[in-house]
Amino acid sequence: MEQVEVKSAVDAMASAFEEFKKANDERLEQIEKNGVADPTLESKLTAIEAEMDKFGDVNNQIAAQKAKEEQIEEKLASIETMLKRPSASAVEAKEVDLQMKSWEKWIRKGDESLDDAEKKALTVGTAATAGNYAPAEYVEELVKIIEEISPVRSVARVRQTSNKEIEVPSKTANFSAAWTAETDTRSETAGYTTSLNTIPTHELYALVDISTALLEDSVFDLDAEMNLEFAEQFAKAEGTAFISGNGTNKPTGITNGSTVSTGVTAAATAVTADNLMDLVHSLKSDYAQNAAFMMNRATLGVVRKLKDTAGQYIFQTGFSGQAGLPNTILGHPYVEAPDVADIAASAKSIIFGDYRRGYMIVDRVALSVLRDGFTQAAVGNVRFLARRRVGGEVVLSEAMKVLAHAAS
């Protein structure tokens, strides 16, 4: 593809994308105002997307052209090298002649169906014809899927204990002050109450058997790999429990039950900017000062498109030049938590609160890995047993609020 054609395609793609953004902003404004977008505008967006798709393979075309050019240069260099060899024999000269004919046939006609005489005697593709001389390269690196781990531990209060559980006293109600005359009788101002929250620790475990031979022969350090895998899987499991755990042999999550009250009830399958504003104002000011939103990535994608009544996006990017300010939603930071529910009927898709005051995590035993080379020795295995003990509970429910969706 020529440079002029590439530039033309890229410019067309950029122009189409700008038109797409403009049309999408108009669509959002119509939805905000009327609750629905004009069908003709939806059709326009579809047409623009189709236009953008025409230029979607520009990079692929450039890469293909570059690869073809490199292939041509490599082939020419190979033939040139053979011609320059001072001790080239008649057999080699014949080989060069055959390659030149084959090359001409391929480069001019794109014909890959060459005669047997035109093919090399030794080929990489067949083991019997020296293919074993060109083995594949083994990459000593594991390709691993991404594990999404909840960030609750990074925003909640974390406490270490050497006991099976901890007890946290909490104030649950206040008395009210009363006015009185100078000589009136004073009665007791009742109403101050407390409670004791018990946070037990629960056990996480994983058990993996690996053959002794594999441990001996593997090019990877499987001991280290297992330790890393245990840490990731435990972090993933505890993160899920901190959000939605039911408290049975696991921590009790923030969205479990009705301990954390619903600040806003949104439509069954949608979230609006007003819903988020109401959620923010459902929390007491003292908690809101240090509060953050918590939602999964899909929900964040929806929230990023929302605008307020003034037409401003409620999502704002931070400014790295000012002490690394974070991105915000309605002026508050947010954290992505993969374990928070999607936007759906009866779900709790967004949490807003001061998690350091509202939720406590208790660590009893850090990650412990036992490498047992004896109990499974008869069957040629080494057993890895990993465990940890951790608990989690809501300790101040009013410090957090959830956005719940109506039933369908």
266 contact partners, CB below 8 Å, separation of at least 6: 272, 275, 349, 403, 404, 405, 406
CA neighbours closer than 13 Å in the CB half-sphere of residue 19:
16
Q: Whose structure tokens read 């030794």?
A: 122
Q: Which domains does the chain have, with CATH numbers?
A: 3-132 (no CATH), 152-175+194-408 (3.30.2400.10)
Measured at the alpha carbon of residue 328, what is the angle toward residues 323 and 332, in degrees to the nearest 5? 95
Q: What is the predicted pLDDT for the residue at 320? A: 44
Q: What is the predicted pLDDT for the residue at 336? A: 93
Q: What is the predicted pLDDT for the residue at 288? A: 96
Cβ contact 200:164 at 8 Å = yes
In the predicted structure, residue 388 carries a pLDDT above the cut 60 = yes
302 contact partners, CB below 8 Å, separation of at least 6: 271, 343
Strongest mean pLDDT among 7-21, 49-63, 315-329, 340-354: 340-354
In the predicted structure, residue 127 carries a pLDDT above the cut 90 = no
Strongest mean pLDDT among 38-52, 318-332, 371-385: 371-385
Nearest of 42, 15, 49 to residue 27 by alpha carbon: 42
In the predicted structure, residue 272 carries a pLDDT above the cut 50 = yes
Cβ contact 16:48 at 8 Å = yes
Q: What is the predicted pLDDT for the residue at 321? A: 42
Q: What is the DSSP letter of 275?
A: H
The arithmetic mean of pLDDT across residues 254-263, rounded, is 95
CA-to-CA distance for 273 and 285, rounded, in angstroms?
20
- List, for residues 311-370, the tens digit of each pLDDT value: 889 998 775 444 557 889 999 999 999 999 999 999 999 999 999 999 999 999 988 999
Q: What is the predicted pLDDT for the residue at 367? A: 87
Which two structure tokens, joined as six digits, stand for 237?
A: 């499991």
| Pairing relationship of beta strands 348-353 and 334-336 according to DSSP bridges | unpaired
Cβ contact 352:280 at 8 Å = yes
Task: Tell me the pTM.
Answer: 0.66
CA-to-CA distance for 209 and 373, rounded, in angstroms?
10
Strand partners for 81:
none
Strand partners for 171:
194
In the predicted structure, residue 59 carries a pLDDT above the cut 50 = no
